[in-house]
Amino acid sequence: MTHRSRWVSAGLTVIAILAIGYGWRTAHYNSHFLSDTQIGGIRVGGQTAEQAAQTLKTKLSNQTYTVEEHSKTLAQFTSREAGVKAYSTTQLKQLIAKQNAYSWPVHTFSASADDQRLSASAMDDADLTALANKIVQVAGTNRTATHNAKLVYKGHQFTIEKPVYGTEISQASVKTALTKAIETHESTINLKQAYVKPTVLTNSKSLVSAKTKAEKLAKNKITYRITNHSIQVPSDTIASWLTTKNGQVTTSNAQITKYLTKLSYQYGTIHKTRHFKAHDGKTVKVPAGLYGWSIKVASETPILSKAVLAGKPVTRTPVIQGTGYHKDGSDLGSTYIEVSKPAQHMWVYKNGKVIISTDVVTGKPVSGTTPSGVWDVWSKQRNAVLRGKNDDGSNYASPVKYWMPIDDTGVGIHDSPWQPRYGGDWYLTHGSHGCVNTPPSVVGKVYAAVPLHTPVVIY
């Protein structure tokens, strides 16, 4: 054998030995963790599943965690309180099966550990939730709220307001911070890690896009037809309603409600004192009563919000509530009842003409004074029994053939066969408890002549 042949033979022998060693080590790591493996920060390299299970059980069962904020300890808890459960031997065998046993040389000489986190399945969710709630309570609620970047309208232009990185925490954010710390075996948890973070930032594409969209929406024409008025919502007003939520354009319904409430007060009649032209041509001031209309703001707000976001020109009459709304702007109309307390008289108008004129008896001053105002015949009943209390506190029950309630306190128009006379100053001593007593010979005609929701003007 030549010298060269001996070297070749020796080389092949070394290679064979190395191959056998590599194969043996590879087979070894089919049942053992790679040498630099950690689970949740706990070293289990070179251990079998059974050995690793015992190591984890020992380490995790007595692990203590501390929650700090501004270098001050807020809470301490053990892994057992957090519901941490050590991996079972079966679970650890599954982890070993997933590792690449052929890569053991790299892990042998690696400077960094192969750290596998404890999975969420290693923690009891109910225990972790209870612990997070406890920490939230200890930390307190006096905290700076976190806000996303948002669209604001100032100085007649839209700008993007920076997000606020606050100290706000929540059960979810604390739970996430605890889970992460336990997964990575961090024994000290800074509560700052649980601060709720903004999800929309200044340079968010959705927010930049929202700004462009809002500028376009603000230029849309929205017009209201209210009686004989046409009101176009100003662009500045529409712009002031626009904002963003999670980076998307939306409206501030509180601002829309405020606008509609103002509009209702300006054009509605339910709350207004009226200047009424009486039977003698004189104008008298009559306070507001039940008769009148207003914008039903609660119903109109979502409709207007939808119209704003649709971005299409729209003209509409708002949702109206109450009585007496007329497109031509008229209020009482030409069919109504007029009652003058000084004159102790009632006039019934039908299509602008007096069809009934009769003396009446109104409430006895002061306790039974008939309320002034513009009221509404909101019901009509036959053969009713009126009940209440007399001045001396005794109860009364008065049967009537015709009953037309007009307010919300029990005042109405009805027949009164117990009255021997009507008109004049009889009401001063023999007045009603507030109702408009009407002669039996006339009240049936009144009942037949007036439809429901006929206005009743009392002054």
Catalytic residues: 414, 435
Burial (CB < 10 A; 0-12, 13-18, 19+), residue 1, is exposed
Q: Rounded distance, CA 163 to CA 168, Å?
A: 13
Kindly give, in sequence order, each residue whose CB lies less than 8 Å from that of residue 212, ignoring residues fewer than 6 positions away: none
Would you give the distance in Å from CA 423 to the centre of its chain?
57
Q: Rounded distance, CA 188 to CA 205, Å?
A: 37
Burial (CB < 10 A; 0-12, 13-18, 19+), residue 336, is buried
- Rg of the chain (C-alpha set): 42
Of 368, 387, 371, 396, give the one whose Cα is nearest residue 456.
Answer: 371
- Residue pair 359/438 in contact (Cβ under 8 Å)? The answer is no
Kindly give, in sequence order, each residue whose CB lies less than 8 Å from that of residue 99, ignoring residues fewer than 6 positions away: 29, 33, 34, 37, 114
Torsion of CA 81, 83, 84, 90, to 10 degrees: 150
Kindly give, in sequence order, each residue whose CB lies less than 8 Å from that of residue 346, ignoring residues fewer than 6 positions away: 337, 338, 339, 340, 356, 357, 358, 359, 360, 413, 436, 438, 446
At residue 435, the 3 state secondary structure works out as coil
Angle between helix axes 171-183 and 125-139 (nearest 10 degrees) is 120
- Residue pair 12/5 in contact (Cβ under 8 Å)? The answer is no
Show the DSSP H helices in 197-296 as ranges: 205-217, 235-241, 253-267
